[in-house]
Amino acid sequence: MTRPLSVAVAGLGTVGAGVLKVLRENADLIAARAGRPVVVTAVSARDRSRDRGVPVAGLRWYDDPVGLAGDPGVDVVVEAIGGSEGPARALAEATIAAGKSLVTANKALLAIHGAALAAAAEERGVSLAFEAAVAGGIPAIKAVREGLAGNRISRVAGILNGTCNYILTQMREHGREFADVLGDAQKLGYAEADPSFDVDGIDAAHKLAILAALAFGRPVAFDSVYVEGIRRVSALDIGFAGELGYRIKLLGIARQTEAGIETRVHPCMVPESAPIARVDGVFNAVVAEGNFVGRVMLEGRGAGEGPTASAVVADLIDLARGRVTPVWGAAASALSSAPSVPMSAHVGAYYLRLMVVDRPGVIADVTAILRDEGISLESMLQRGRSPGEAVPVVLVTHETRESAMTAALARIAGLGAVMEAPAIIRIEVG
């Protein structure tokens, strides 16, 4: 029989324990597809005594995960520790330096250090595999890097964070405010005790940076991603979005333009008819547009033990078969050096909601500012009359430049009749 692929797993939390379960429960199927058995022989975790729902007896145990990299009986290391620094980074660097392939589900590590890790892996002639790092069980990495390899990709976008999608779905379906739904999401385990990485858009930005590198054949550039979360989305805005025929989603969008590559994460209004608008709850979706294939959309669970472990095991099967693909789809010497486009250069349509004192002349003052900044209006909504009190006014613009919108907002916010900071949401095709 062909020698088994010997795997070490660092981190036995949700993902690491899930990998052990998949490899054991589907061992025969995996061996047939990999051409040889894939077995875990060594592990590392902080607490030896904890019950993880999967037996670890008989496996070599390392208190220091970096020790896995030097184990002569290990062929591949799975990093399931998490975080961009500390033990996860040390293990990744040590594994590659030792001439061993690395499989990781760690989007933060790849977004921040992926360029250096990819260069080191190419120099050492080993694989850096990360299907599980973006959209969990959805095969987004393979689809963009390999399935669409014959296409010039113009745009890749998606719902990349299930926590945010769940919160926005609940707000829309039940008319509740962000803070209330977040509390429920934490009780249900959909959101962490500190939800900042999710609701402030950072998790989605990590994933988008990786997708953009794959789509456009450029080293990962997390620092270039514009990031805005969902804390300021209100039930009022979600209600107005419905009236206008839109749904609000937190999207990650990467786009090739004449000036370079635009990467941004922020709440978007997308038409209710767009397929991505109907992706609700904790589900994720990834959309890619190629010059020959057209638009492709993948949808599924973006997190959780089963989906994420499934993606890790898919990478292990590739390694067992000897299937090797350059990290960003091409050798380092062939990667693009296209510049990043700043958010101020973005051009698109906008939803603007103001809370203004209901008195004559207010709308004229607002529209004069928009006119001065070269912004034209497509439509306006105002519900009811309450003389002397604050009322919402919604304006939808035609396409304009972000820098013009930013300048207009600063002036509008300074008007005496505007009672709170203007709410702005960008409009996308989906």
C-alpha pair distances (Å), 105 with each of 126, 128, 301, 364, 388: 17, 11, 15, 53, 55
Structure tokens at 27: 């061992």
DSSP 95-125: HHHTT-EEEE--HHHHHHHHHHHHHHHHHHT
DSSP state of 422: P
Does residue 300 sit in helix, strand or coil? strand
Task: Please tell me the distance from the alpha carbon of residue 199 to that of residue 233, in angstroms, as a whole number.
Answer: 11
| Nearest alpha carbon to residue 382 among 352, 404, 405, 407 | 352
C-alpha pair distances (Å), 65 with each of 11, 50, 305: 8, 17, 21
Instruction: Report the DSSP beta bridge partners of residue 264.
Output: 226, 253
Q: Residue 293 in contact with residue 287, Cβ under 8 Å?
A: no
- Give per-residue burial for 144-157: e unless 16+ CB within 10 Å, then b: bbebbeebebebbb
CA atoms within 13 A on the CB side of 6: 14
Q: What are phi and psi of 355, to 5 degrees?
A: -105, 110
Task: Please tell me the distance from the alpha carbon of residue 211 to that of residue 209, in angstroms, as a whole number.
Answer: 6
DSSP 319-375: HHHT----TTSS-GGG---PPBPPGGG-EEEEEEEEEEEB-TTHHHHHHHHHHHTT-
CA atoms within 13 A on the CB side of 422: 25
Query: What is the distance, to the nearest Å, from the Cα of residue 102 to the centroid of all Cα atoms in its chain?
Result: 21
Task: Please tell me the distance from the alpha carbon of residue 191 to that of residue 326, in angstroms, as a whole number.
Answer: 34
Structure tokens at 350: 């906008």
Task: Please tell me the distance from the alpha carbon of residue 9 to that of residue 418, in angstroms, as a whole number.
Answer: 56
Residues assigned a catalytic role: 207
